[in-house]
Amino acid sequence: LGAAEEEESLAEAASSDDDGGPIVYKVRGFLREYFQAQEDIYHALLDSVDKVSYHLEYWLDWTMPVRRRPLWAHRAARRVSASYLAMLGRSEQTSAPSRAAKQFSQMHSELCRLVAFVKVSSCELLSF
């Protein structure tokens, strides 16, 4: 069914109810808008978690010891990356990469908790 047909069928169902009619229609409309907004927010949060996890992996790579490549190549790549980040105004992050990784880790865990809260709260609301 299309959106207009769905609204018409909901309006008919709400008008045929003896225990509230238009109130039932308003509640259904509110719940539809609420769950649509919650779905949009949920997907935005998942996108944010993805971006933060990417940055977390990047800064964890900065803090890890060098493996499987020559030390001179690693240092040259880090200098190029550090100068690029300094041009972007993020030189503080290159001076303390472990601190930046810790901050991204904390942000990632808080976003994951928020995503779990949104998911659990919507399931609890639907269980009533």
SS3 readout for the chain: CCHHHHHHHHHHHHHHCCCCCHHHHHHHHHHHHHHHHHHHHHHHHHHHHHHHHHHHHHHHHHHCCCCCCCHHHHHHHHHHHHHHHHHCCCHHHHHCHHHHHHHHHHHHHHHHHHHHHHHHHHHHHHHC
Q: What is the pLDDT of residue 12?
A: 58
Range of the domain at 95: 3-127
pLDDT tens by residue, 77-94: 888 888 888 888 877 777
8 A C-beta contact, residue 31 and residue 17:
no
Which pLDDT band holds residue 47 (cuts at 50, 70, 90)? very high
The tens digit of pLDDT for each residue in 89-122 reads: 877 777 788 888 888 889 999 999 988 888 888 7
Instruction: Please state the domain count of the chain.
Output: 1
The pTM for the full model equals 0.58
pLDDT score for 110:
92
CA distance 111 to 115: 6
